[in-house]
Amino acid sequence: MIEQAKDIKLNVLPLELFCEHLYYYEGPCRFGSGEALEPGYDKVAFAKRAKNFVEDIKAHVPEGVNVMEPVLFHRTDDWDEPEEQWRAMEDAVNKADVVVPMAGAGVQDLGLKFAMRFKKTMCYCPASGQFNVPDVPAGIAARHMDVKCYSEYRWEDFTLRMTALRAKKILARTKYLCVTRFDGRTGVSRPDSFSSLDQITERFGTTFHFVNLHEFIDCMKEATPEGNYTTPGRKTPNVDAEDLKKAEELCDELIGGAEEVRIERELMMPSVIAYVLTRKFMDRFDCNAFSMPCPDACSTRRINQNKFTMCLTHALNAECGTPSACEYDLPAALSEQALIAVSGMSPYMGNTCPIPMVDGAFKQVFGATKESLAELAKDPDLREHLWMTQHSVAHRCLPDPNEHAPYSLAPFAYDQKFGATFRYDFARDKGETITMCKFSPDGAKMFIGKGTIVGSSGQDRDNCTQLVFYRLNDSLAAHRAQCEVGIHITLVYGDYTKELVALCETLGVEPMLVD
């Protein structure tokens, strides 16, 4: 099964805490007058309050959050604490990701006791009580307990907190399919990949499944009774007739929908088969993220021999909300997952850098044409503010994850014309805001940036020359931050900087926010 981020729900459990007064009296722990002081009144008032409490939560949770049926702890002013009530809620609490408690006189100690008993993430909301509820979080923090307790007094902050907590859950449910040749930790071209996968699993819950590169490539053709060369006599998940039919149909669909096709169908098919095989492996091993080291694989000459690249795989994965990173950049794939989780958008990734002015002209950088740079140089507002992200993994769903924008198809290989790539004209989206992010190699920091698209290059060329130009306000600060995370930066359309900062707080990661 490939578990997509959009299908992962955050389970939120309302916790109703009720203290009933059994007698008529008033004083420091009892306010009111008339019938409000009479026995039985509390039950009527609480029923109305509890109903509104749950309705308010449901009205303010973001998409992807499931509000569970509430659980109740009922005590009286005898200060009783029935053990059976705690036990009755255990199943619901175990299924919950976050508990939203009520607050008020006579129940605040129950909030602390709940935390100590269940050690479940808690978040007070504006409907929890008449105050902003700092006391239970303070009590939990003072005890250095391994549990988080938040208190949000504005609904917009509560909604943002739920978005961040859901994204945290998605990262914890992320499992990579890592196709490797040498080192499972990093590829030869990626010194900025994760420095320790065990550390990432410990920090985020993210896990990794490894597949040998040669065994993977052997599976790109139908199995024979003898087995594959690298695994003789073994049953392996090779593509079968159904997979090849799926690849044929997808190839025809992609060609039929393109504005321009500059690659022969015969030379496009191996890249489509590689995508179908990748999804088959991911489904078999229950993975929902992917990466493979391009240079390590390239030097085997098997990519050249089989006439494919993984560019199309990364692009099609991104379209359907599956993080998929070039060059075995595992932090990039997890950064894509973070963006998918907070935005629901389809990400793009690539080599990212500022483009400085040198002798009155923008410096020549890989992928950018002299003509495109000369045109951009006409805008004085771009001087010292121009950036680019470049890779051959653009796709059709950048502006809208639910619709296909106009695209072309071109080869990756200049000479032999194999390796299918999408070509997309980012200039169509000039003026659109983008949000960028990238985890650091140790997972302790996240670069977060915001820019504005100003142009495009490479859509009419082959190879890894596709790129998007955009404007950042503070180039130097962005460069300094990028030097802590690496060359590949991931991005989506829209402004999701607040969501990413909230995610960082939830994860205990340092946000490096620049624009």
The CATH number of whichever domain residue 70 belongs to comes to 3.40.50
pLDDT band with cut points at 50, 70 and 90 for residue 211 = very high
Q: Indicate if the pLDDT at residue 169 is higher than 90.
A: yes
- Domain ends where: 141, 170, 199? 170
pLDDT band with cut points at 50, 70 and 90 for residue 463 = very high
Instruction: Please indicate, yes or no, whether residues 466 and 503 belong to a single structural domain of this protein.
Output: yes
Alpha carbon distance 190, 173 (integer Å): 24
Q: Convert the pLDDT of each residue in 188-198 to its tens digit.
A: 878 889 999 99
Q: Convert the pLDDT of each residue in 307-325 to its tens digit.
A: 999 999 999 999 999 999 9
- Find the domain containing 114 and state its range: 5-170
- Angle of the 41-60 helix axis to the 155-172 helix axis, nearest 10: 60
Q: Convert the pLDDT of each residue in 50-68 to its tens digit.
A: 999 999 999 999 999 999 9
Instruction: Please indicate, yes or no, whether residues 249 and 142 belong to a single structural domain of this protein.
Output: no
Instruction: Please indicate, yes or no, whether residues 114 and 249 belong to a single structural domain of this protein.
Output: no
Q: What is the model's pLDDT at position 430?
A: 98
Q: Convert the pLDDT of each residue in 216-265 to its tens digit.
A: 999 999 999 999 999 999 999 999 999 999 999 999 999 999 999 999 99
Instruction: Please indicate, yes or no, whether residues 133 and 186 belong to a single structural domain of this protein.
Output: no
Going by C-beta distance under 8 Å and a sequence separation of 6 or more, which residues neighbour residue 148?
Answer: 121, 122, 506
- Domain ends where: 170, 199, 223? 170
Q: What average pLDDT score do residues 446-475 get? A: 96
Contact 243, 277 (CB under 8 A): yes
Percentage, residues of the chain above pLDDT 90: 85
Pick the closest to residue 166 from 13, 334, 5, 331 (CA basis): 5
- Domain ends where: 116, 146, 170? 170
Alpha carbon distance 262, 417 (integer Å): 9
Q: Which of 13-43 are b and which e, b meaning 16 or more Cβ less than 10 Å from the residue's Cβ?
A: bbbbbbbbbeeeeeeeeeeeeeeebeeebbe
Instruction: Please indicate, yes or no, whether residues 161 and 178 belong to a single structural domain of this protein.
Output: no
* 240 CA to centre of own chain: 32
**Residue in the structure block whose two tokens are 């850098």:** 353
Pairing of strands 324-325, 289-291: parallel
502 or 32, greater pLDDT: 502
Q: What is the model's pLDDT at position 17?
A: 95
Q: How many CA atoms lie within 13 A of 510 on its CB side?
A: 9
pLDDT band with cut points at 50, 70 and 90 for residue 33 = confident
Contact 97, 122 (CB under 8 A): no
Instruction: Please indicate, yes or no, whether residues 344 and 482 belong to a single structural domain of this protein.
Output: yes
Contact 471, 385 (CB under 8 A): yes
Instruction: Please indicate, yes or no, whether residues 163 and 188 belong to a single structural domain of this protein.
Output: no
> Dihedral (C-alpha) 327, 333, 335, 340: value to the nearest 10 degrees?
140
Instruction: Please indicate, yes or no, whether residues 334 and 468 belong to a single structural domain of this protein.
Output: yes
Instruction: Please indicate, yes or no, whether residues 163 and 266 belong to a single structural domain of this protein.
Output: no
Instruction: Please indicate, yes or no, whether residues 152 and 182 belong to a single structural domain of this protein.
Output: no
Reported in sequence order, the residue ranges of 339-444 that DSSP labels E, i.e. its strands, are 348-354, 357-358, 361-362, 386-390, 408-411, 420-423, 433-439
Q: What's the CA angle centered on 394, arms 390 and 398, to 5 degrees?
A: 115
Instruction: Please indicate, yes or no, whether residues 163 and 223 belong to a single structural domain of this protein.
Output: no
pLDDT band with cut points at 50, 70 and 90 for residue 135 = confident
Q: Indicate if the pLDDT at residue 31 is higher than 90.
A: no
489 or 515, greater pLDDT: 489
Q: Indicate if the pLDDT at residue 298 is higher than 80.
A: yes
Instruction: Please indicate, yes or no, whether residues 190 and 132 belong to a single structural domain of this protein.
Output: no
Domain count across the chain: 2
- Residue 294: CB atoms within 10 Å: 22
Which pair of structure tokens corresponds to residue 8?
Answer: 């992962």
Summary mean pLDDT of the chain: 95
Q: Convert the pLDDT of each residue in 336-371 to its tens digit.
A: 999 999 999 999 999 999 999 998 899 988 888 899
Q: What is the model's pLDDT at position 427?
A: 97
Q: What is the model's pLDDT at position 102?
A: 92
